[in-house]
Structure 1
Amino acid sequence: MPRTKNALIRQKTIDKCLSSRKNYSIRDLMDACNRELELIGEYPITATNTIREDLEQIMANYPDAKIISRRVGRHLYYSYETENYSIYKIPLNDDEFAQITQTLSILSRFEGMPQFEWLDEIKSTLNIKISSDPIVGFDENIDLKGRDYFAQLFSAINNKQPLVLTYKNFKRNINQQFIVHPYYLKQFNRRWFLIGFSENIGRLSLFAFDRIEDITTSNCKYIPNTKYNFKDYFDDMIGVTRIDHTDIETVRIWVSANRWPYVATKPLHGTQHIISKDVSGVIIQIQVYINKELEQLILSFGKDFKVLEPESLKQTIAQQFCEALKNYQ
């Protein structure tokens, strides 16, 4: 049973029915679930197999939940073997309760967003009180333009809903419309990005939240993602931008001895390793796609970094520093 709002409501309803003394057939359980789903505006379930799978999932997830069936005439009726048993009455030890409380505290940053309403339900069920005093801080830009689109885009990905994005072209100062099949949300450098297939461009594209002016739904057929695995899609780059028709390159950088301890404990990339080392500094090597995010990262280290390879990146960084110097002359 997937941990979605719909599935959790079904589970809670089925558990309540099985705990009662009344006999419930599969059809009765489905009707009870649909009544609860209707109350919150969710679509009803139409297949009795969904209920059967829910019963199997309850027994798989809760070994002590013994569900029995009794035949009365032509029908089978279901209940827990132990009267008044409920999967929500299973006791937690202190460590388990503390771990759940910590997890919900972190997840509470998503409260109020569609698909995350189950947070309130779980806290209510377990009678968990989340401290109002912050314990964990996230590097989040609360003033980011377009941040409110998160819930809508999350829902569109979850429901496989094509979108029409009105997107701001900063260079040309115009708005453009794109039909996008949304696949993934990614945060980098305190900004949020939508990754999806753009029909206008004909390839996987990146859209920054703060440049989205409007979002509407599209009636076109959704094109599913069958090519990209976003668990490792970003592994070979720094940031979120992968330029078309480029390959992973070997980048060598000299790091000053003064800055090296910081780079050693917070590597630029997972492929970082030492090539050589002396009193003046360390030469490191990474293998990544070259993009703007990499350039910006190198520039942020100022005089403590020097690009050695490739020559094209070295010249780009040198030119950036020369142009920056003009601002101070």
Structure 2
Amino acid sequence: MIDNTKMQTELRSLFAQLKIFFNFKENIVEMPVNRNALIRYKAIDTCLRNRRRRWTLEDLIEKVSETLYDYEGMEKGISRRTIQSDIQVMRSDKLGYNAPIIIVEKKFYTYEDPNYSITNIPLSDADLSRMTEAVEVLKQFKGFSHFEHLNGVVQKLEGHIYASAHNQHTIIDFEKNENLRGLSHLNIIYDAIVHEYVLEINYQSFTAKAPSLISFNGWWLKEYKNRWFVVGSKTGFNSVTSLALDRIHEVKANKEALYEKSKLGLTPEQFYEHVVGATVNEMRPKRILIKVRGEHVPYVATKPLHASQKIIETGDKYMIIEMRLIPNFELEREILGYGPGMEVIQPEGLRKRLAEKTREASRLYSAE
């Protein structure tokens, strides 16, 4: 157990801020997630630590109500039942407090231990491990200024965790690409989508010789394998377009232009329901049959290519899977990545395209 009281207090305070913002589930770390509850616990703690005054239940209710008004602007008073419930929670180990709250003379509340405070509870090694994992999750939001005010908190929390446990190391390694171009555009695009502003984008596709200016109505952001896309429509066009952020040279919001909302009537989840990746070429999925061979069988069985994957036949060192998908570049790349371990049976068009690409690859190696 770590016994640096000051550091533990700050760690709990910092992590409480993070939990309040992200509304983390209790299985990350056993701490209160409700802002008002946290304020009430701290107000009660402050009262009970002040031993120059004797605190009745009515006194605690009044003090907590004043504190909530100061911090949250809540004018409605707190009920007796709420404060009594808070005291029971603080007495229990539900949040790890185990507060020694006693009643003196059947009327006055106080701490049996005059040195006790809920802010002095030491953190266990398990707590530090969970906090480290939570910090790694939070760091994935890098690039969104919507979360910028938490950057300092995250860095401070991370520093304290490592200082508290000298041999503490990250046990979760997320896939990321810190050098990916276009991440600096995330915030302005995100903000434009939220406020329904038209985006003026200087964009250059991989096939274009020079960038061109596009008036674009962004509907949502899509991430696939560390690459970000803004999805929407060009002004005056009905078709859905995906623009890769790493191909954007410049972007700004035009707050005066008329924003064109999506007419799809679909959520992003529904739009990508039948694809692998971020490209939707059409809206009608096809029945795709693939024969998986050899060492790839158990891997594909436990890590499906898509949520619609079903195993319809198994044999000696092979299986046939069925999916309902819209063929696209990302799916082709996934299949080709398995080399001879995957064979497309149908549809015929997809089979022919992959066969030709396989022959081209074979010719490259045959030249050696």
Measure, in 2, the Cα distance between the counterparts of 1:160 and 1:64.
44
- CA deviation digits over 1:230-275, x for unaligned, max 9? 133222110111113x510000001103210111111111111111
Alignment counterpart, residue 234 of structure 1, candidates 239, 264, 272? 272
Between 155-164 and 261-270, report the one with greater CA deviation: 155-164
Q: Which residue pairs with 1:76 in the alignment?
A: none
Measure, in 1, the Cα distance between the counterparts of 2:329 and 2:77.
49
What TM-score does the superposition give when structure 1 sets the normalisation length? 0.67
Change (3 A) 1:321 1:170: same
- Residue identity in the other structure for 2:257: C
Q: How does 1:1-329 map to 2 (within 5 A)?
A: 55=74, 102-111=133-142, 113-120=144-151, 129-131=160-162, 133-218=169-254, 219-225=256-262, 227-244=265-282, 246-327=283-364, 328-329=366-367
Q: Shift of residue 121 of structure 1?
A: 7.2
Between 307-316 and 152-161, report the one with greater CA deviation: 152-161
SS in 2 for 1:253: strand
Measure, in 1, the Cα distance between the counterparts of 2:345 and 2:75.
60
SS in 1 for 2:275: coil
Does the 8 Å CA contact 1:101/1:128 hold for their aligned counterparts?
no
Measure, in 2, the Cα distance between the counterparts of 1:98 and 1:324.
46
- CA deviation digits over 1:110-134, x for unaligned, max 9? 3574111342576699999354854
- Residue identity in the other structure for 1:115: H
Does the 8 Å CA contact 1:178/1:200 hold for their aligned counterparts?
no
Does the 8 Å CA contact 1:179/1:200 hold for their aligned counterparts?
no
Change (3 A) 1:110 1:220: same
- Residue identity in the other structure for 1:173: K
Between 99-108 and 208-217, report the one with greater CA deviation: 99-108
Q: Shift of residue 315 of structure 1?
A: 0.8
Q: Shift of residue 292 of structure 1?
A: 0.8
Measure, in 2, the Cα distance between the counterparts of 1:57 and 1:321.
71
Q: Shift of residue 200 of structure 1?
A: 5.0
Does the 8 Å CA contact 1:169/1:176 hold for their aligned counterparts?
no
Measure, in 1, the Cα distance between the counterparts of 2:83 and 2:289.
58
Measure, in 2, the Cα distance between the counterparts of 1:57 and 1:185.
40
- Residue identity in the other structure for 1:209: L
Q: Shift of residue 290 of structure 1?
A: 0.8
Measure, in 2, the Cα distance between the counterparts of 1:290 and 1:131.
47
Does the 8 Å CA contact 1:166/1:175 hold for their aligned counterparts?
yes
Structure 1: give runs of 5+ residues left out of the alignment: 5-10, 34-50, 66-88
Measure, in 2, the Cα distance between the counterparts of 1:172 and 1:58.
64
More helix by share: 2
Measure, in 2, the Cα distance between the counterparts of 1:232 and 1:131.
42
Q: Shift of residue 149 of structure 1?
A: 1.5
Structure 2: give runs of 5+ residues left out of the alignment: 1-19, 23-34, 44-62, 85-117, 164-168
Q: Shift of residue 309 of structure 1?
A: 0.7
- Residue identity in the other structure for 2:319: V
SS in 1 for 2:194: helix
Change (3 A) 1:58 1:286: farther
Between 220-229 and 177-186, report the one with greater CA deviation: 220-229
SS in 2 for 1:276: strand
Q: Shift of residue 136 of structure 1?
A: 2.4
Between the two proteins, the alignment pairs up a number of residues equal to: 269
Change (3 A) 1:139 1:162: same
SS in 1 for 2:240: strand
Between 168-177 and 206-215, report the one with greater CA deviation: 168-177
Measure, in 2, the Cα distance between the counterparts of 1:150 and 1:3.
20
Q: Shift of residue 280 of structure 1?
A: 3.9
What TM-score does the superposition give when structure 2 sets the normalisation length? 0.61
Measure, in 2, the Cα distance between the counterparts of 1:220 and 1:56.
42
More strand by share: 1
Measure, in 2, the Cα distance between the counterparts of 1:236 and 1:57.
50
